[in-house]
Structure 1
Amino acid sequence: MNDDNSYDKIAEQYKKSKQLGFRKYVEEFTLLKLAGDVSGKQVLDLACGEGIYTRKIKQLGASAIVGVDLSSEMIKLAEAEERKNPIGCQYLVNDALNLGKIGDFDMVMCMYLLNYARNKEELLQMCESIYINLKPKGKLFGFNDNPMNNLENYATYKEYGFIKESTINREEGDFVKYIIYNPDGKEFSFNNYYLSPQTYEACFLAAGFKNFQWEGPFLDEKVRETDYWDVFFNDPPLIGFSASK
């Protein structure tokens, strides 16, 4: 993967953004719902960032988990947390595009990995990397920029802590810029890339996956009683997905 979108410079700010409500009540809630029972499972966490979900999956009973991220600064944060609170997470600096086979895992988790593919070829390469690291009947799940999100709604999510921007016509391979507004008042940004839902579905099929489907997103029951989340869920900017080998 090209390193001009490196998270090394924004690692600390990205970690702080996990305090935003959508992270906990939508992102985390959806992820753990899709993960299901992880007891005794060997899990590969691709695009693990600073390891927040790597740790959560391990704490929920995974027998082993390996977190992989392209950003060495993100991995430093993850390893620092592991030293501070050792629970058995392992971390590697590596690129999911060129990962190769590093093990046989029951599950692969991809939080915001696939939306960094700049074209169909890169997306297929990522899908193939995931596939070769899964055991037969293994499970893939994750969370992603929503390619079905209407472009005209990109600027409507600021009350949740972010907005999105793209080109006027948003075609295959165009950037999807996220501007994040952290609770401490600081902001930072990074680019994802737009590929159509059909491109995603074609790449999963070509890589050999079965039962690929978009999932959710889902909202934590604890915050469902208000209309605060209506704008978010009327046209979700983010979405989960799952597939099996």
Structure 2
Amino acid sequence: MSSQYDSFATTYRKAVALDVRRYVDHFSLTRVLGDVTGKSVLDVGCGTGIITRMLKQRGAGRVVGLDLSEGMLAVARAEEERSPLGIEYVRRDIADAGALGRFDLVTASYVLPHASSPEHLSAMCRGIYEALAPGGRFVAVQPSDALEVNDPDFYRTYGVRASVEGRLEDAAPMKVTATMVDAEITISAHYWTRGGYEAALRRAGFGGIRWRSPEVAPEGIEAFGESFWSNYLARPYAMLFECTKEPAAP
């Protein structure tokens, strides 16, 4: 997982700045998270630090970014050095996230699809579970299990193309291409159904699993108009869930 991101760490910053990421993914994530003032947050698969900086600017307390890619972390740390917000960046496997302490919130954006098997996905979820304080929440964004894969150009308007090899089943190989004005990157991942995610989350100990549909920020509608987003909202590329680590019994 780390090597493919090491090779395009700098370019990836442009991909996460795509309008669909800013006006849909980031907006939807913050809507589900709600008020983060004073909360400790761990962003797993933090990449170049876009989400960590957004959370800190929204008032979060301790914010830690975790990633396996040295290239991604180098970009995130350079930005933190240029404009310090007090964010920590750590190279660590998600399965070992519990070693970083306990957090009120854990976030993950397009990270879980890198799990290549049910066992791998369960290990990732268990690591996240261990990193949460009792009563803490895990909120994640990932490709929808109902995304359009028969028409490779369906999301082209939004700068994204997605394809799945073979049947639409858990752990099927998946490729996602993000196209910017002056660059293009292709990421290898895996397709997962809601049922596959829920099974792994429950095995890890999570409860209160809720699925949330993506929304478009008012600024996105103002910038492009409602009709621009109509195809996306009819068959969203993304889906979100939130779940909880139940408080310890008295």
Please indicate the TM-score interval, normalised by the length of the shorter structure. Answer: over 0.9
Distance 1:104 1:223 in 2: 35
Match of 1:151 among 127, 132, 149: 149
Q: Is the 8 A contact 1:114 1:144 kept in 2?
A: yes
- Give the TM-score normalised by the residue count of structure 2: 0.92
Match of 1:237? Answer: 237
SS at match of 2:100: coil
Which residues of structure 1 form unaligned runs of 5+? none
Match of 1:198? Answer: 195
Match of 2:78? Answer: 80
- Answer yes or no: is 1:92 the counterpart of 2:90: yes
Match of 2:204? Answer: 207
1:67-216 mapped onto 2 (5 Å cutoff): 67-184=65-182, 186-216=183-213
Counterpart of 1:104, as a letter, is: R
Q: Is the 8 A contact 1:201 1:212 kept in 2?
A: yes
Distance 2:41 2:219 in 1: 28
Distance 1:145 1:61 in 2: 28
More displaced, 106-115 or 143-152? 143-152
Structure 2 CA distance for partners of 1:161 and 1:150, relative to 1, 3 Å: closer
Tell me the CA shift for residue 142 of structure 1: 1.9
CA deviations 1:84-131 (Å, max 9, x no partner) are 001100000111134443201111011111111111111111111011
Counterpart of 1:105, as a letter, is: F
Distance 2:123 2:197 in 1: 12
- Percent identity, aligned pairs only, is 33
Structure 2 CA distance for partners of 1:168 and 1:206, relative to 1, 3 Å: closer
Distance 1:29 1:119 in 2: 30
Q: Is the 8 A contact 2:95 2:128 kept in 1?
A: no
Match of 2:214 among 217, 222, 231: 217
Q: Is the 8 A contact 1:155 1:165 kept in 2?
A: no
Match of 2:248? Answer: none
Distance 2:152 2:243 in 1: 27
SS at match of 1:27: helix
Distance 2:59 2:66 in 1: 19
Structure 1 vs Structure 2 CA RMSD: 1.5
Q: Is the 8 A contact 1:20 1:183 kept in 2?
A: no
Which residues of structure 2 form unaligned runs of 5+? 246-250
Distance 1:206 1:16 in 2: 36
Aligned residue pair count: 242
